[in-house]
Each structure stands twice: as structure tokens, then as C-alpha cells.
């Protein structure tokens, strides 16, 4: 997408600490930027900040100024090129049964000591249900050539977990954050077309592709938010700019690039007490075997969801097989969204044999490391024998 000439020039210096630059999500200009920047720049974008300016009809200087200010204030957690990590490293949602007196320590270990655990969340249910004793939930990526099962056994030993359940995604049906865009959304809001089915086959990369990808995915520091942001990354990768862009476009074509995105601090309040979201709900459904993709596509229509996927919960979780995530500031409204999805499934004559909601409490989110080289180095450092039988 071509940007107007006025916003193509380099933006180099902005005083991000100026009191005159609003940093709250509710500010109209910030909301306008975030409504696009959270999940509306798919794939690889050579000039992401110019694209944001064009899409929001703002100047690039304004976009850069606001993003820098929000990042500096902690309203935005990170800005980065995301990847389709499910296509780059085998992964799973993991539920952990940890004794109550060890739960907080286990949370800290997963967040601070394991680079391959991404989302770390303590969850609860409104009543005692199948799986409610599994309070700690994480996402995990383990690069090709290494074992998720062995990795989890190592972590279980470290944190004193009594059991864990690995739930790899068999298919994805919805992807997109858009917390700002979802504010005020009516229950039942959904697309006219069923959700797209996204496969989870892992793509093998060359050493050059890993080198470029490693530089590409690193989150942006404040002073890196500027025009032509990939030129310094090409230098970092040790390749020419043209080669860097060529590899990035090739990775985009192979569908291993996610989106260029800003990630909001959506649970913790800002310095003025504003929250982007308050509740994080993990919905569970059990549908008849053989209808998982059909159900997932219908569930994936619903705009409130940030993720939907086919995962096998096993007997620990009532044999659920479709899961989805929704965020919001009002618990009752989230349950209304859930009820609307349930009604839609009934209208489509897809039986729901069991359903549940796991509510997120304490949470931390970081990108999962996916590099095989990084994994081998980490395993040596912590004494994890990667040659042992799975």
C-alpha cells in the first residue's frame, strides 16, 4: 500500500516523555491507531508505521509519537512482527496441577525461567468441574528436534507439579487481538462466512531464514519506532537490505509471518487506573467426534474471540475438543457472548455435549522462543538432556 509522500520521510526524534502526549487507550487518536495496529496489519509490511499512518489518515510523525509514548508509559507492552509460531515449532496449551502452596512459585518459574513458555495464566472455574484442579496454564513452543513431553517433565520437576496435560492445536479457527476494536461489541456479532481453517504443519527453515527471522521478530525498542525500521535489522542479521526484505517476503508467502502488531497491557491497569480488559475467559466445548472442524468454523465466526482452536482436553477436562478465548471488562457480558455462541451452535444443529469456562486471573505474556539453536543452548545451561528418550 503506498503512503502519501508527506509521510514517507524518516521520523527520527520525538520526545516520548512530553506531558502533552496522551498515552491512554481511551484518547481518540490513540484508539484510532490501536484499532488498526493491534491486528489489522497482516503479514510482512516493509513500512509498517507509514502503513498505519495511511490506514488511520494520520501523519507518520503522529503515529510514531503516540506509539513511542504509549510504549514508554507501559500502555503498550511490546511492538513486534509476529510469527505463525504454530508453523515454526511444535506447540501446545499446557494445564498444570500444582499444589496450592507452590502455585505462585510455579507461575514465577514458568514466566521468568522458561523462554519457551509464552502465556502464563492462573485460571479458575465458577464451580468444581472436570479439570478445575488444574490452576496453572501455559502455552509452550519446543523447536523441531526436541521433545515437548520431556520439556514438560523437566518443568514439572522444577515447580513440583503433580500432573500436566499437553494439548497441541490440531487446527486454528480464529486469530486476531483487537481489544480496542472489540469494546462495545454486541453479543452474537459474527462474520457472514465460517472461520478459516488454519493448519498447524511445521515449516522447516534454512539457516539464512532463521537468521533473518530472528532479527525480524525481536520486539522494538522506543528509538526503533521510526521510518524504514527494517534497515537496522538487516545490518543486525548481517545481510543486505534487499536480501532481508526478499527473505521476509518469502517467509510471508510461506505463511509463517503473522502480523505487525502492538500488544497492549490488557490486564494490569495503567498509571491512571484504565484497563483495556479485565476478564480473560477460556471457553471449552465438547462436540461429537468428527465435527470438530465444523464446530470450530462456526465458533470462529464470532468477532469477540481472539483465538479458537481444536484441542483435545482428554478425560481430565471432560473430553472437550474445541476451545476459544475472549476478553472483556464485564464478566456478565462475556457470558452473554458465550451464550450467543452456544445458541448459534444449536441453530447449526451441532450438539454441545459439555461446556465450561475457565477464568484467567494472574497472567503474564511473553513471546515464546522458537529457535532450535536457542533451545539447545538453554537445555545445556539448565542440564536438560535432550538426547534422552522421550
pTM (predicted TM-score) = 0.79
228 and 281 in a single domain? The answer is: no
Q: Given a cut of 80, is residue 156 above it in pLDDT?
A: yes
- pLDDT of 385 reads 93
Is residue 7, in this structure, part of any structural domain at all?
Answer: no
- pLDDT of 150 reads 97
166 and 313 in a single domain? The answer is: yes
225 and 345 in a single domain? The answer is: no
Q: Given a cut of 90, is residue 350 above it in pLDDT?
A: yes
Is residue 384, in this structure, part of any structural domain at all?
Answer: no
Report pLDDT digits (tens) over 33-47. Answer: 998 998 789 899 999
User: What CATH number should be reported for the domain holding residue 328?
Assistant: 3.30.70.3460
Is residue 9, in this structure, part of any structural domain at all?
Answer: no
98 and 77 in a single domain? The answer is: no
Classified as helix, coil or strand, 3 is coil
| pLDDT tier, 14 (very low <50, low <70, confident <90, very high otherwise) | very low
User: What CATH number should be reported for the domain holding residue 252?
Assistant: 1.10.10.2890
CA distance to 15, 28, 76, per residue, from 66 (Å):
10, 11, 10
187 and 282 in a single domain? The answer is: yes
188 and 236 in a single domain? The answer is: no
- pLDDT of 340 reads 97
- pLDDT of 388 reads 62
Is residue 385, in this structure, part of any structural domain at all?
Answer: no
Residues belonging to the chain: 390
176 and 97 in a single domain? The answer is: yes
String of DSSP letters for 185-204: PPTT-B-SSPPPPB--PPPP
Q: For the stretch 216-255, what's the b/e string if a residue is b when 16 or more beta carbons lie within 10 angstroms of its beta carbon?
A: bbeebeeeebbbebbeebbebbebebeebbebbeebeeee
Report pLDDT digits (tens) over 288-304. Answer: 999 999 999 999 999 89
308 and 320 in a single domain? The answer is: yes
Is residue 220, in this structure, part of any structural domain at all?
Answer: yes
76 and 100 in a single domain? The answer is: no
Is residue 2, in this structure, part of any structural domain at all?
Answer: no
93 and 75 in a single domain? The answer is: no
164 and 289 in a single domain? The answer is: yes
Q: What single-letter DSSP state applies at residue 318?
A: T
The H or E element containing residue 167 is strand 163-167
Number of domains composing the chain: 2
| Percent of the chain residues past pLDDT 70, beyond the cut | 88
Is residue 48, in this structure, part of any structural domain at all?
Answer: yes
Q: Which domain holds residue 52?
A: 17-84+205-264
How confident is the model over 12-24, as a mean pLDDT? 63
Q: Given a cut of 90, is residue 3 above it in pLDDT?
A: no
Residue 124: name the closest of 263, 352, 331, 311 by CA: 331
139 and 281 in a single domain? The answer is: yes
- pLDDT of 245 reads 98
Q: For the stretch 22-38, what's the b/e string if a residue is b when 16 or more beta carbons lie within 10 angstroms of its beta carbon?
A: bbebebeebebbbbbbb
Is residue 146, in this structure, part of any structural domain at all?
Answer: yes
Q: Given a cut of 70, is residue 184 above it in pLDDT?
A: no
Amino acid at each position: 500500500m503506498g503512503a502519501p509522500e508527506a509521510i514517507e520521510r524518516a521520523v527520527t526524534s520525538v520526545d516520548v516523555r512530553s506531558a502533552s502526549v496522551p498515552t491512554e487507550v481511551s484518547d481518540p487518536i490513540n484508539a484510532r491507531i490501536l484499532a488498526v495496529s493491534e491486528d489489522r496489519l497482516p503479514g510482512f509490511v516493509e513500512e509498517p508505521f507509514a502503513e498505519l499512518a495511511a490506514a488511520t489518515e494520520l501523519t507518520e510523525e503522529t503515529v510514531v509519537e503516540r506509539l513511542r509514548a504509549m510504549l514508554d508509559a507501559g500502555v503498550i507492552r511490546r511492538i513486534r512482527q509476529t510469527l505463525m509460531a504454530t508453523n515454526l515449532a511444535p506447540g501446545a496449551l499446557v494445564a498444570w496441577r500444582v499444589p496450592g502452596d507452590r502455585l505462585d512459585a510455579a507461575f514465577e518459574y514458568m514466566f521468568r525461567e522458561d523462554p519457551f513458555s509464552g502465556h502464563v495464566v492462573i485460571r479458575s472455574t465458577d464451580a468444581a468441574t472436570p479439570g478445575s484442579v488444574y490452576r496453572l496454564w501455559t502455552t509452550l513452543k519446543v523447536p523441531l528436534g526436541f521433545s515437548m513431553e520431556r520439556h514438560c517433565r523437566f518443568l514439572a520437576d522444577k515447580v513440583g507439579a503433580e500432573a500436566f496435560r499437553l494439548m497441541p492445536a490440531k487446527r486454528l479457527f480464529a486469530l486476531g487481538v483487537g481489544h480496542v476494536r472489540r469494546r462495545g461489541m454486541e453479543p452474537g456479532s459474527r462474520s457472514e462466512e465460517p472461520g478459516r481453517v488454519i493448519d498447524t504443519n511445521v515449516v522447516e527453515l534454512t539457516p539464512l531464514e532463521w537468521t533473518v527471522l530472528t532479527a525480524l521478530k525481536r520486539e522494538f525498542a522506543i528509538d526503533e519506532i521510526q521510518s524504514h525500521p527494517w534497515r537496522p535489522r538487516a545490518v543486525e542479521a548481517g545481510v543486505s537490505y534487499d536480501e532481508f526484505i526478499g527473505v521476509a517476503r518469502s517467509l510471508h508467502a510461506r505463511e509463517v509471518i503473522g502480523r505487525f502488531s502492538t500488544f497492549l497491557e490488557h490486564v494490569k491497569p495503567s498509571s491512571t487506573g484504565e484497563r483495556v480488559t479485565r476478564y480473560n475467559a477460556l471457553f471449552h466445548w465438547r462436540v461429537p467426534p468428527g465435527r470438530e472442524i465444523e464446530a470450530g468454523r462456526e465458533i470462529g465466526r464470532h468477532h469477540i474471540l481472539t483465538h479458537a482452536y481444536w484441542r483435545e482436553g482428554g478425560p481430565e477436562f471432560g473430553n472437550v475438543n474445541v476451545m476459544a478465548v475472549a476478553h472483556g471488562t464485564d464478566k456478565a457480558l462475556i457470558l452473554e457472548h458465550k451464550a450467543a455462541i452456544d445458541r448459534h451452535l444449536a441453530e447449526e444443529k451441532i450438539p454441545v455435549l459439555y461446556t465450561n469456562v475457565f477464568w484467567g486471573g494472574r497472567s503474564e505474556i511473553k513471546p515464546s522462543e522458537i529457535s532450535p539453536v536457542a533451545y539447545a543452548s538453554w537445555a545445556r545451561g539448565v542440564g536438560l538432556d535432550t538426547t534422552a528418550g522421550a
